[in-house]
Chain A
């Protein structure tokens, strides 16, 4: 592998993976904060307002980390992938510019109002600010998904005489079916992160026997939202996404499942290591005919294996793709199981007393983070060897004028900076969660300096 190409890929992969740890929580928490604000108005119980303020504080910290790690993303297309951006800017520049124009202005303006305006706004005005922050964060996710979906499944484009792509239908681009399915699947994942984190903090408070009242609120909201989002993550959104992928990227499905040879009544591999050299799965545990059923709805259908496709179309890193996909599905299944049991206990009014379940909820909060990351790796590693599926290869997209050493230099810079950011994040979160919701007061601009300090 060409060194510069490899480093440019790692550069983007590293910065985007680290970045997405923050937006997945903010996009997940935003609707939950709206729920808490709604409960506060409907019940008149001040505890819901305090709970909302506490989560807004957590939201604000994550938002700020999302902003500072997100700015480089907007520029890395140009710095590290200049040939790609030169060729495709006429299409994907649209959703990227729209993200700034429609989401970031909305989000930043109303986050400031939401954080500082509680005294100045009426309670419904404050609710509206929360809602608009939610809308802004989800719109932002949508525009990014539209961008990615075009790379996965290019629609509504034509080529100009100089070889670059330009958009031919604005609505065609925004309603790319791939984007709609992926958005639904991705937002379920974000909501799962928000719910698991909220439930975990609630569980921790009850285990520590402090902030009991808030612990119960967090568990109630977190477990219900977590159950619904984990379920919807698998069915229907994950299922639909898989079927759509099988239609448009069949070679990717074959590599994800580790299916080297075409089979009728293809089995699903639960565990096993794909051996690309000998084209087989080592130490397999399989369930017969399930793959055919999942993809085509019948146990007898033929699923095309990797051998049905020319080798130059195969994803370039089959083991990584296979593991990313299996980790996503495995953890997704565990998340559904955990939330189903927790929801049952909540329904039977036992959850707050069953300590082993609280422990499980506390320890499970990393699951959705890992599953979401693995899911994105599945999508992007599965897209290889293409940058724009079927149109532009990854080898043709990077900045040829930026050599390997420069790319490594900035990659190491980001690694160092993000290590410091990560440590800082853990410190700040520990401090804020330790202080708890009881300590949150209404703030105004007069008493606190920065956006995140609620």
Chain B
């Protein structure tokens, strides 16, 4: 049951990354590829009805983590205290930026809120990537299963680790680029005309950079924590995951160039799914490794709650997910297709 919940929590985080990922990416590009106010509003409209629902995956994922692995939730959230609160502040700024832009009539307010939205989207992508880097690399946690990391430290590879250090900044930038591509493919899927072409061009370029990051990322990760390859060496069949990562990135690039918007976007979804699956496969059964040695890791076994709770949770979780998937399909179908250019309100 613990392993099942490892997979389910991973699934929720992956769903969050794929769904909120494209609206974060759209936020990053929001000011960069817009030539005028109409472009900006087109980008906002493309994510307007769905961004809030996408963000619910983060909240539902957090809640699921809390109930299935309370020790992980408690130790990691208090240990990552400062970056987590900064992420929460950014989420507040971002929500304000997108929701309240149209409620204030001054042009200067629209500019300010656009700035909030774009900046917070970019920083969130950076922090989420850095958070993933911290989890992969492990945290300085001993027998008391408690840690508190400084926000940054020397950026030298041989210096102390911190929330932001050479490796986690690398993973942060990696995430920014990946979500930029993802968001660009979404925009090109949902819009027409010049803005679509610019988004497609951005996707084309970021896909190439992402290819380099993906290939460089593997040795850097092994350098940051050699144990990450252990599961792969033990079960070579897992190497199909990195292969799928490369293939889906190639297809996203290829289909984007061919103007096949929906397949390209879906390939980009597959890229994020497989990349995160690759990380999960490297971590299992650890949830948060300790950099002091694997005996101090927080694993699915020492962090899980009682078996009754896990079993009963599985029942309502399954029901809830079927319902949620139903709503999502319904809403995305309702708002499918391209935005109309001629009816800008």
A residues contacting B by CB (< 8 A) are 61, 64, 67-69, 71-72, 74-75, 77-80, 82-94, 96-102, 104-106, 108-113, 115-117, 120, 158, 160, 164, 166-168, 170, 399-402, 406, 409-410, 413, 417, 421, 424, 427-428, 431-432, 443, 445-453
Contact = CB atoms under 8 A, between A and B. Distances in A.
Interface string B70-85: 1101111111011011
Contacts of B64: 97, 100-101
Contacts of A449: 41, 44-45, 48, 98, 101-102
Contacts of A72: 85, 88, 92
A96 B66 contact: yes
A117 B316 contact: no
Contacts, number: 261
A315 B66 CA distance: 29
A98 B60 CA distance: 8
Nearest to B105: A431
Contacts of A452: 99-100, 103
B176 to A, nearest CB: 21
Interface in B295-335: 305-306, 308-309, 312-313, 316-317, 320-321, 323-324, 327-328, 330-331, 334-335
Given A77-B66, A450-B98, A452-B100, A105 B77 contact: no
B88 A101 contact: no
A88 B305 CA distance: 9
A399 B327 contact: no
B112 to A, nearest CB: 11
Contacts of B99: 61, 64, 68, 450-453
A164 B60 CA distance: 22
B331 A113 contact: yes
Given A410-B85, A453-B102, A453-B103, A446 B45 contact: yes
B193 to A, nearest CB: 15
Contacts of A99: 63
Nearest to A104: B56
B20 to A, nearest CB: 12
B344 interface: yes
B100 A428 contact: yes
Contact of A108 (B44, B52, B74, B312): B52
A417 B344 contact: no
A424 B101 CA distance: 11
Contacts of A115: 49
Count chain A CB atoms within 10 A of each CB in B78, B84, B102 and give the residue with the most: B78
B146 to A, nearest CB: 5
Contacts of A78: 66, 73-74, 76-78, 84
B45 A71 contact: no
Given A94-B309, A410-B85, A74 B49 contact: no
Nearest to B58: A71
Given A112-B331, A116-B49, A447-B344, A168 B308 contact: yes
A90 B334 contact: no
B220 interface: no
Contacts of B345: 443, 446-448
Contacts of B309: 90-91, 94, 166-167
